[in-house]
Amino acid sequence: MRLFSNLISGLFHPLLMATYGIALVLTCTYLSVYPPSVKWAVLGGTFLTTAFFPAAFILLLIKSGVASDVELTRRKERLAPYLILIVSLAVCTYYFHKMQMPFWLPAVVTGACGALTAAACINFFWKISAHTIGIGGLTGGVMGIARLYQANPYQGFMLLFVIAGLVAASRIYLRRHTPMQTYSGFALGFACVFGSVSLSYFISIYN
């Protein structure tokens, strides 16, 4: 069970959620018609800015002794990684604007940036689950985009909720978080990203 929990935690690490989300967008929406070169540029840029560089920064913190492990088990160790990931997401948002992506795509990343900003503030007094913020944000993004286009990929929704349950259960089993910390993380990620996509739609209407 511990091996399975570690596998789930690694496979659905917060740093990978943006890349997974963009991969879904490029295969399951009308953006699938983009040429492969554009798709790889978008996906590669997302991975570099939101996964590779933040991961390298965290490893540097561990090597320098500022952080104890890749899980960032101690609450006080999480502030610097939160800040670097917020900056990375902001860079990714700017990259999408330069690539002239649809308005709702930068909105997804902006929502994730907002969720992490809130998490960084919460981190001063409580350890909220970054893993469930990530899967909650991914779920909120999928639901927000589906709502824009009046789609109902219910099988995809069911799969995301199952994954969210597995992630939360794994974090609880590994004693990294309490149940409330995982529930709160999912709710925060979902609300911020879903709200950002919905707000971007209304802004686009009136502009």
pLDDT tens figures, 70-83: 666 666 777 778 88
Query: Nearest Cα to 147, choosing from 116, 113, 108, 184?
Result: 108
User: How many whole angstroms separate alpha carbon 13 and alpha carbon 139?
Assistant: 14
Q: What is the pLDDT of residues 71-129, one digit of tens each?
A: 666 667 777 788 888 999 999 999 998 888 888 889 999 999 999 999 999 988 888 99
Residue 206 lies in a domain: no
Q: What whole-number distance in Å separates Cα of residue 49 and Cα of residue 18? A: 10
Please count the other Cβ atoms lying within 10 Å of the Cβ belonging to residue 101.
21
Query: Please, which residues have CB within 8 angstroms of residue 184's CB and are 6 or more apart in sequence?
Result: 128, 129, 132
Nearest alpha-carbon partner for 162 in 6, 10, 12: 12
Q: Which domain holds residue 98?
A: 2-201
Return the amino acid letter for 165. G
Asked whether residue 54 is domain-assigned, the answer is yes
Contact 127, 177 (CB under 8 A): yes
Query: Has residue 137 got a pLDDT over 70?
Result: yes
- Can you tell me whether residue 124 is helix, strand or coil? coil
Mean pLDDT, the chain, integer: 88
pLDDT, average across residues 153-172 = 92
119 belongs to a structural domain: yes
Confidence of residue 161 (pLDDT cuts 50, 70, 90): very high
In-domain check, residue 115: yes
Q: Is residue 44 part of a domain?
A: yes
**φ/ψ (deg, to 5) at 70:** -70, -20
- Residue-wise pLDDT for 177-194, tens only, equals 899 999 999 999 999 999
126-129 long-range contacts, Cβ below 8 Å, gap at least 24? 126/75, 126/181, 127/75, 127/78, 127/177, 127/181, 128/177, 128/181, 128/184, 128/185, 128/188, 129/168, 129/171, 129/176, 129/177, 129/181, 129/182, 129/184, 129/185, 129/186
- Tens of pLDDT, residue by residue over 25-42, are 999 888 899 999 999 999
In what helix (H) or strand (E) does residue 55 lie, and over which residues does it extend?
A: helix 53-64
pLDDT band at 62 (very low <50, low <70, confident <90, very high): confident
Query: Does some domain include residue 118?
Result: yes
Percent of the chain having pLDDT more than 90? 56
Locate tokens 């960032």: which residue?
72
- Residue 99 placed within a domain: yes
Q: What is the reported pLDDT for 74?
A: 66
- Could you tell me if residue 64 is inside a domain? yes
Asked if pLDDT for residue 206 goes beyond 70, the answer is no
What pLDDT does 97 receive? 86
Average pLDDT over residues 166-182: 92
pTM (2 decimals)? 0.91
Total of domains in the chain: 1
